[in-house]
Amino acid sequence: MPETTQFSETEGNGYTGGRLRPNTILLARYKIDAKLGGGGQGAVYQARDLNFPDARRLVAIKEMIVTTTDANLRASSLKTFQREANILATLNHPAIPKIYDFFDQNDSAFLIMEYINGNNLEEILIKTKRIPMDKILEWAIDLCDVLHYLHSYQPEPIIFRDMKPANIMIDSLGKVRLVDFGIAKIFVSGVKQTTIGTEGYSAPEQYKGNANPLSDIYSLGATLHHVITRKDPRLEPPFSFAERKLMDFNEEASSELATVLDKALNFDPDKRYQSCAEMKEAFLALRYRPTMSVSTPKANGATSEMPRRASRDLNSSTLDGVVQPIWTFKTEDEIRSSPASNDQMAFVGSYDTNLWAIDLNNGEFVWKRPSDAGIACAPGVDMPHSQVIIGSEDYTVRAISMRDGRINWTHITGNKVRSSPTVAHGYVFFGSDDGKLYALNADNGRYQWEYDAGAAIRSKPFISNDRVIFGTEGGEIIGLELNGTRKWAMRPKKAVTSSPFVDLEGICYVGSFDGFIYAIDADSGFSHWRVRTNGPVISSPTVHRNLVYVGSADGKLYCINTQTGKERWTMQTEKPIVASPIVHNGIVYIGGTDNIFYAVDAMSGKELWRFNAKGAITSGAHIADDLVMFGSLDHNLYALPVVQQ
Ligand SMILES: Nc1ncnc2c1ncn2[C@@H]1O[C@H](COP(=O)(O)OP(=O)(O)O)[C@@H](O)[C@H]1O
Ligand SMILES: [Mg+2]
């Protein structure tokens, strides 16, 4: 209905330079309130939708003006615009504004979209002095998410091409939203190859007219570099980010973060992160596991050192109320996951690629079994077959003889294995980053079934008498029958890395990155209650009597009544808790990323004692033989005495 369009009268033909006046009505429906941004080839306006006269429904209108007089170019520009608008209209992502409508008229085209109440990041940089690093990391994580969504678009990936602070808005809830899908540039020029994004933020290859998903990764790196250093790359020599070290401009920046941005900003696309999912992981590690390094594991057997002897102090235990380790055992890289034990032996995986077997009595080395990449999951003990099952980031799960460390069988999956295996009913159950949950025969590793969850599985499956329950990075909690048939699924809004725990009443407890702790009926998947914490819940719950214990990235250990979902007590620590608690003889044991291992009275939440490790603790504890053992990112496995109350 072009006839119904009105333009400001003073504009002659009315179609130049983004000058729709307030109160102009488009399509007899959208009444312009004010200009929000833009200029030159068009502008963005705030407008009111008159179809909703009683509600103040706001929309944003993006106007684009064709400047060329060449009829062919004009026609092809309009076509390109329509095609792009059609794609945009099919996008469905919380960080992308919804497109309601688009139309073209004479020399202009209009896109009617969801109005975002907020400011763009460029304005925010001007208005603020300092943005907390955690906030920036959260934005970075969400930006990786939305870029990943665009890059996974079928049949062709969508390349954003113009990532920069001015094209990112922060809405009233503090969430990032991507605006400006480069339509204007395509529309104006009609020649895609000239769409080079914005100088300063664009990747080197974009200047040659070759934009691909890796160029978006570069521009996201450039954008974050700007936000963190407050040094505008448009004012600096091209590709000179490496000369402006994050730590010189922002005291909150870590060398790990600098490494991540360096990688994203590599001149050579092949040396950047190869996907936004990969880059997101690096940011997640920085945000929620602050001291965990994101470096790749050392090559196998890189050190010539012999396995060191454990230090042991027989007179240890508690001196002056200070708990001393009975022994410690040092591996060659971070210990991120929990130890296990059987019959006088402890087993622990290290990011140094090895599964280590250690003598429980004295902490001495028994054997080690290398894999080809870091180990980030806990061993599963299979007593009937005298073997330990361990997954590795080399995509493989191995069954290893407890006696001598020899391999009984292996199973290779399609991606990294970070889900700890559970051995039950004669089977080994585990998930893989390839998105599948596997069931293998524990005896010989023979494949039984797999269930394709469509997203990486890092949570350890819980196996009850008739259910296999696990979470996915795609944000599902899934309940299968023992034969792999899906019974139910529940969808928290974010990843479920936490491992479910089912109590004797058949209630399943599990946490999610959305900050909630969920109590679900294990049989049907029906929700009983959920409790909100103030950070992602990566820690896995455990139940003792009628209380469930779990940590949160908000730094608290929660103790919650299983029946009512009411908090009984919480204990605040200084840093996120990602490790899982265990309860033994009325004491909860849990490690923090503040390097402290806590022993807390299970009923009252009162701290009984603490032990300072030299690095963050993300590993859960394991109790055997009056020892409480846990690993730390400082490379050590610690064995402390179980001190009775
Ligand atoms: N949907 C929207 N809701 C609110 N403001 C918006 C919206 N889209 C864009 N803006 C504002 O308008 C500015 C310019 O929009 P953008 O799409 O980036 O146009 P340009 O092509 O001029 O860069 C943005 O930086 C943002 O501040
Ligand atoms: Mg823009």
The residue nearest atom 13 of ligand 1, judged by CA position, is: 37
- 303: in domain: no
The preferred substitution site among 61, 180, 219 for testing ligand 1, maximizing ligand atoms within 8 Å of CB, is: 180
Packing angle of the helix pair 213-229, 276-288 (nearest 10 deg): 30
Annotate 219-248 with three-state secondary structure: HHHHHHHHHHHCCCHHHCCCCCHHHCCHHH
Annotate 179-212 with three-state secondary structure: CCCCHHHHHHHCCHHHCCCCCCCCCHHHHHCCCC
Structure tokens at 66: 């064709």
Q: Is the pTM of this model over 0.75?
A: no
CA of 180, closest atom in ligand 1? 17
Indicate which ligand has the atom closest to the C-alpha of 34: 1
Sequence-separated (6 or more) residues with CB below 8 Å from residue 497: 458, 459, 471, 473, 513, 538
The preferred substitution site among 36, 102, 162 for testing ligand 1, maximizing ligand atoms within 8 Å of CB, is: 36
* pLDDT of res. 188: 39
Taking only the tens place, the pLDDT of each residue in 488-521 is: 999 998 999 999 999 988 999 999 999 999 999 9
* 350 and 270 housed in the same domain: no
Structure tokens at 341: 């034990």
CA of 116, closest atom in ligand 1? 3
Structure tokens at 328: 């410690």
Taking only the tens place, the pLDDT of each residue in 399-409 is: 999 999 999 99
The DSSP letter of residue 140 is H
62 lines ligand 1 (CB under 6 A): yes
The preferred substitution site among 179, 183, 189 for testing ligand 1, maximizing ligand atoms within 8 Å of CB, is: 179
Q: To the nearest whole percent, how much of the chain has pLDDT over 70?
A: 89
* 428 and 480 housed in the same domain: yes
Instruction: List the beta strands (DSSP E) in 432-546.
Output: 436-441, 447-452, 462-463, 468-471, 477-480, 486-490, 501-502, 507-511, 516-521, 527-532, 542-544
44 lines ligand 1 (CB under 6 A): yes
Cα of 440 from ligand 2 centre, angstroms: 52
* 42 and 183 housed in the same domain: yes
* 630 and 532 housed in the same domain: yes
Q: Quickly state the pLDDT bin for 289 (edges 50, 70, 90).
A: low
- Cα–Cα dist 261/241, whole Å: 9
* 110 and 38 housed in the same domain: yes
Identify the sign of the CA torsion 413, 416, 419, 421: positive
- 9: in domain: no
- Cα–Cα dist 430/459, whole Å: 8
Domain hosting residue 221, numbered range? 25-287
Decide if 60 contacts 96 (C-beta within 8 A): no
* pLDDT higher than 60, residue 9: no
* 420 and 344 housed in the same domain: yes
- 520: in domain: yes
- 15: in domain: no
- 544: in domain: yes
**Of the given ranges (11-25, 186-200, 229-243), which has the lowest mean pLDDT?**
186-200
Structure tokens at 19: 């000058």
Q: Quickly state the pLDDT bin for 126 (edges 50, 70, 90).
A: very high
185 lines ligand 1 (CB under 6 A): no
- Cα–Cα dist 24/1, whole Å: 15
- 112: in domain: yes
Q: Quickly state the pLDDT bin for 222 (edges 50, 70, 90).
A: very high
- 382: in domain: yes
Cα of 41 from ligand 1 centre, angstroms: 13
| CATH code: domain of residue 406 | 2.130.10.10
- 16: in domain: no
* 158 and 68 housed in the same domain: yes
The H or E element spanning position 35 is: strand 30-39
State the total domains in the chain.
2
* 366 and 238 housed in the same domain: no
Sequence-separated (6 or more) residues with CB below 8 Å from residue 205: 211, 212, 214, 215, 269
